[in-house]
Structure 1
Amino acid sequence: MRFHKLAISLIMAGLIGGLAYKGYDEYKTSQASEPTVEVATDDGVLGGLEVGQRAPQFELETTEGQSVSLADYEGQQVILNFWATWCPPCREELPELIEFGEDTGIPVLGVNATKNERLGKRDVDAFLQEVPVSFPILLDETGTVEKTYRVVALPTTYVIGPDGIITAKQVGPVDFDWLHDRTK
């Protein structure tokens, strides 16, 4: 009887070890095929990039398929807002971002965390049918820009100065007054 228990235990341990090795091998293979992402290397930004740091350049497509780059706004103040359709605080702040952009003329760029949407771009398109926006919605389909900026929570908003330096940051929803106070 003890021999049977020992044999079964050894077989189970072998199966578990084999599955673990196979899983690790698949993980290693999948990591090798992912594109390299430039991420800020300052250890002080584990919670995201901070005020005073240069905003990393990026290029993403809008929901209409146009290519938009942060460099397109060089010399201007820009509001960069990371959001998702399933995020209640993101939905809550959207009217404030729309009003701010329309009232001030300061460009607002909405970076959708498309990789985290259940149906990807289809979720974004459906949402924008309900809530049309007056600023570009950029699709971060691979999560590259989200990783580069080290976004840890949605929504996260950055105010970027004309010189490309981050002048303000808010993790959580923003309102018109917060945006206005940080863009004077």
Structure 2
Amino acid sequence: MKRNQIAAVVVLIALLAWGVVDAYVLDKGAENAATSGANSSVPIGLEKGNLAPDFELQQPGGDKVKLSDFRGKKVIVNLWATWCPPCRAEIPDMQRFYEANKANGVVILGVNLTATETKPEDVEKFVQAYGMTFPVLLDGEKQVSDMYKAISIPTSFIIDSQGVIREKYIGPMSYEWMEKTLGRVQ
């Protein structure tokens, strides 16, 4: 059993390291994606200062949600999966942060990498079990995970009220990190 735990830690470290490479190297060549209502003077892409690529996904209840619907609010786009231990670790802090800040124009969009789930129908049970009240979106076709180049998870993008990416964070976010980072974002 100890050997399996060591192997799991090594795999997790490798995934996080690959995510760092993704954040600093691969994103430099990110292609533009279509965004409705985009400010043409700001390029669309995944680097800090780029307009976040728009997307539309469905919630477990069936409603569709677009990222651009939240212009005027600060948004955390969080890519996650139910099987991911670091994702599970950050959910309580994300939920607490959302409840404390939603009245101040902060939104968390939890983009579940549904295509990677063993049983996609279990996502809704997971959301209920963890008491997640922020919008959870289902990425069953890998649309957003491919567009946002989510190689390791959790990966989060902090987007300002104008739709511009201000931070990319790989790994589990803490309440304190979200508070400090979103406090600097307009």
Q: Give the TM-score of the pair, scaled to structure 1.
A: 0.73
- CA offsets 1:15-41 (integer angstroms, 9 cap, x no match): xxxxxxxxxxxxxxxxxxxxxxxxxxx
CA distance in 1, matches of 2:29, 2:80: 20
Contact 2:27 2:47 (C-alpha < 8 Å) held by counterparts: no
In structure 2, the residue matched to 1:126 is: 125
Tell whether 2:128 aligns with 1:166.
no
List, as ranges, runs of 4+ consecutive aligned residues in structure 1 with deviation greater than 2 Å: none
Residues 60 and 177 of structure 1, relative CA distance in 2, 3 Å threshold: same
Q: Number of aligned pairs?
A: 141
* Corresponding residue number in structure 2 for 1:86: 83
Gaps of 5+ in 2: 1-25, 31-44
What is residue 156 of structure 1 aligned with on the other side?
155
Larger Rg: 1
- Give the corresponding residue for 1:112: 112
Change (3 A) 1:72 1:156: same
1:70 alignment partner in structure 2:
67
SS at match of 2:93: helix
After TM superposition, give the deviation of residue 50 of structure 1 in Å.
2.7
1:116 shift after superposition: 0.4
Aligned-residue identity in percent? 40
Measure the CA separation in 1 of the matches of 2:74 and 2:138: 21
Q: How does 1:171-182 map to 2 (within 5 A)?
A: 171-182=170-181
Match of 1:36 in 2: none
Change (3 A) 1:64 1:171: same
Moved more, 72-81 or 125-134: 125-134
Equivalent residue of 1:56, what SS? coil
Alignment correspondent of 2:18:
none
CA–CA distance in structure 2, aligned partners of residues 100 and 71 of structure 1 = 22
The CA RMSD over aligned residues, in Å, is 1.6
CA–CA separation in structure 1 for the residues paired with 2:165 and 2:174: 18
Deviation at 1:43, TM superposition (A): 6.1
Residue deviations 1:104-152, cap 9 Å, x none?
11111100000000112x1202212321211011000000111011111
1:134-145 equivalences in 2 (<5 Å): 134-145=133-144
Structure 1: tracts of 5 or more residues without a match: 1-41
CA contact (8 A) 1:167 1:182 kept: no
Secondary structure of the 1:54 match is: coil
- Does residue 95 of structure 1 match 2:92? yes
Using the size of structure 2 for normalisation, the TM-score is 0.72
2:109 partner SS: strand
Whichever residue aligns with residue 80 of structure 2, its letter is W
What code does the residue aligned with 1:113 have?
L
1:44 maps onto 2:21 in alignment:
no
Q: Supply the distance in 1 between the matched residues of 2:27 and 2:180 (Cα, whole angstroms).
A: 29
- Counterpart CA distance in 2 for 1:116 and 1:142 is 10
Give the letter aligned to residue 116 of structure 2. Answer: N
- CA deviations 1:62-120 (Å, max 9, x no partner) are 01111100111012111110000000000000001101111011111100000000112
Alignment-derived partner of residue 6 in structure 2: none
